[in-house]
Amino acid sequence: MKVIVTGGAGFIGSAFVRMAIGETDMHVVNLDKLTYAGNLENLTSIEKDPRYRFVEGDICDAALVDSLMAEEKPDAMVHFAAESHVDRSILSPEPVIQTNLRGTFTLLEGARKHRLKRFVHVSTDEVYGSLEAPLEADENYPLNPSSPYSASKAGSDLLARSYFVTYKMPVLITRASNNYGPYHFPEKLIPLMISNALEDRPLPVYGDGQQVRDWLYVDDHCRGILAVLRGGREGQIYNIGGNRSLPNLDVVHKVLAITGKPESLIQYVTDRPGHDRRYALSSEKLMRETSWRPLMDFETGLGRTIDWYRTNSAWVARVRSGAYRTYYEKNYGNREAVSS
Ligand code: NAD
Ligand code: TYD
């Protein structure tokens, strides 16, 4: 099977490419624009493999998508490429609209023209919005996104589904919970807290820190996507969760315990606008239809992730230089320290 992977230089996309090349016989063409979040260092372990090709380019570039599909004649596409961060989408919504909506549309059109046999659209549980405990979203739960990021993902999900309904295109949609693991850009909660803790910097907790997320180890997510790619039913949506819900503050305490750093590093700061209180989803459908299960226990996965950040301090230093500092100042500089 030959697969075009979009966004394969990012956090989850690169884990998927490493898995597809390392553990299957797939051929992978990675189409990635190399935004601030795309990093070819994430792929050095497989970059020389004859089954792998990298193409630098924008998923919004219809001519490029068309010529790549004509040239490569892929069997499938797994679409990860996105502007993926809620805080950045709040500071500047335009890129999420462009890449997540326009880009997904461009790929769907390319897939339609070239009669692609399988299109897996990678989405998120954030499209369901905030759920009161003890509710869990199944795939039929109404969409109720809160941020420009999650609204753009919900829009692209609906567009992808419309290509199945209208054009009978073989579209499948996955919605995963919060991922964590190695190579995670240090703007999201877990990698930010780990890299700040390792450098004895303050850990900025939004609001009261009691917001709940379900945590999924990135390789469990990638195995779930492989299961959907191989065995999912066309036109279906599949939730992929880690079955491990935790308030943010508990996650931060675990990071401090494993890194051996003091609680005094925690700094409560002004909350994120429109902050979703709780995400929760059921992966019952994927488990019923395939042999997929989330395998990584959270404490083990977090320990491994922290070890990776300790060992890869040069990777962290490189991605935290330059434009990252400007972003950090913009996002955190205006946040008042509520207490510490
Ligand atoms: P990421 O930000 O780490 O990586 C995104 C990748 O897409 C980067 O390599 C970037 O260069 C590339 N990209 C961005 N715009 C592009 C464009 N216009 N053309 C081509 N490439 C472009 O993201 P991630 O965390 O790996 O997330 C991947 C996907 O998984 C996204 O669709 C996201 O919505 C979804 N998702 C993420 C999570 C999570 O916890 N991170 C959870 C569920 C779903
Ligand atoms: P994040 O990793 O941005 O993922 P998402 O908002 O897409 O779920 O944030 C996870 C949770 O952590 C969310 O409730 C916001 C919170 N958070 C902080 O408290 N401080 C931070 O510096 C960041 C980045 C997130």
Tell me the mean pLDDT in the region 313-321. 95
Beta strands in the chain (DSSP E): 2-6, 27-32, 52-56, 76-79, 118-124, 171-176, 178-180, 203-206, 212-217, 237-240, 245-247, 266-269, 337-339
Pairing of strands 337-339, 266-269: antiparallel
**Residue closest by Cα to atom 22 of ligand 2:** 204
Percent of the chain with pLDDT over 70: 99
Alpha carbon of residue 97 to chain centroid: 16
With a 6 A CB cut-off, is 127 part of the ligand 2 pocket? no
Does pLDDT of 268 surpass 60?
yes
Confidence of residue 338 (pLDDT cuts 50, 70, 90): confident
Tell me the mean pLDDT in the region 148-158. 98
> Quick one: pLDDT at residue 10?
98
Q: Residue 109 belongs to what H/E stretch?
A: helix 104-113
Mean pLDDT, the chain, rounded, equals: 97
Does pLDDT of 258 surpass 80?
yes
With a 6 A CB cut-off, is 215 part of the ligand 1 pocket? no
Ligand 1 centre to CA of 284 (Å) is 25
Total residue count of the chain as it appears in this document: 340
Which numbered atom of ligand 1 lies nearest the CA of 60? 18
For residue 55, the ligand closest to its alpha carbon is: 1
For residue 268, the ligand closest to its alpha carbon is: 2
Tell me the mean pLDDT in the region 127-143. 98
Does pLDDT of 336 surpass 60?
yes
Q: Quick: pLDDT tens for 87-98.
A: 999 999 999 999
Tell me the mean pLDDT in the region 69-96. 98
Tell me the mean pLDDT in the region 216-221. 98
Confidence of residue 26 (pLDDT cuts 50, 70, 90): very high
With a 6 A CB cut-off, is 248 part of the ligand 1 pocket? no
**Residue closest by Cα to atom 14 of ligand 2:** 211
**Residue tagged 């946040």 (tokens):** 335
Instruction: For CA atoms 270, 271, 272, 274, give the dihedral sign.
Output: negative
Instruction: Kindly report the backbone phi and psi dihedral angles of residue 253, in degrees, each rounded to the nearest multiple of 5, phi listed first.
Output: -60, -40
**Residue closest by Cα to atom 11 of ligand 2:** 189
Nearest to 85 by CA among 157, 38, 128, 149: 149
Tell me the mean pLDDT in the region 106-128. 98
Confidence of residue 277 (pLDDT cuts 50, 70, 90): very high
> Quick one: pLDDT at residue 134?
96
Active site residues: 125-126, 149
Confidence of residue 339 (pLDDT cuts 50, 70, 90): low
**Residue closest by Cα to atom 10 of ligand 2:** 189
For residue 146, the ligand closest to its alpha carbon is: 2
Number of H-type helices and E-type strands within the chain: 13, 13
- Cβ atoms 113, 65 nearer than 8 A: no
> Quick one: pLDDT at residue 337?
84
Tell me the mean pLDDT in the region 154-168. 98
Q: What is the pTM of this model?
A: 0.98
For residue 43, the ligand closest to its alpha carbon is: 1
**Residue closest by Cα to atom 3 of ligand 2:** 188
> Quick one: pLDDT at residue 340?
53
With a 6 A CB cut-off, is 82 part of the ligand 2 pocket? no
Which numbered atom of ligand 2 lies nearest the CA of 279? 8
Percent of the chain with pLDDT over 90: 98
> Quick one: pLDDT at residue 6?
99
DSSP state of 99: I
Ligand 1 centre to CA of 226 (Å) is 17
Taking phi over 0 as left and psi of -120 to 50 as alpha, with beta for the rest, 200 belongs to: left
Percentages helix, strand, coil for the chain (3-state, rounded to 5) are 45, 20, 35
55-61: list long-range contacts, CB under 8 Å, 24+ apart.
55/29, 55/30, 55/31, 56/32, 57/31, 57/32, 57/33, 58/33, 58/103, 59/6, 59/7, 59/31, 59/33, 59/99, 59/103, 59/104, 59/106, 59/107, 60/98, 60/99, 60/102, 60/103, 60/106, 61/106
**Residue tagged 């240090």 (tokens):** 186
Ligand 1 centre to CA of 80 (Å) is 5
DSSP SS3 for 147: coil
With a 6 A CB cut-off, is 176 part of the ligand 1 pocket? yes
**Residue closest by Cα to atom 4 of ligand 2:** 188
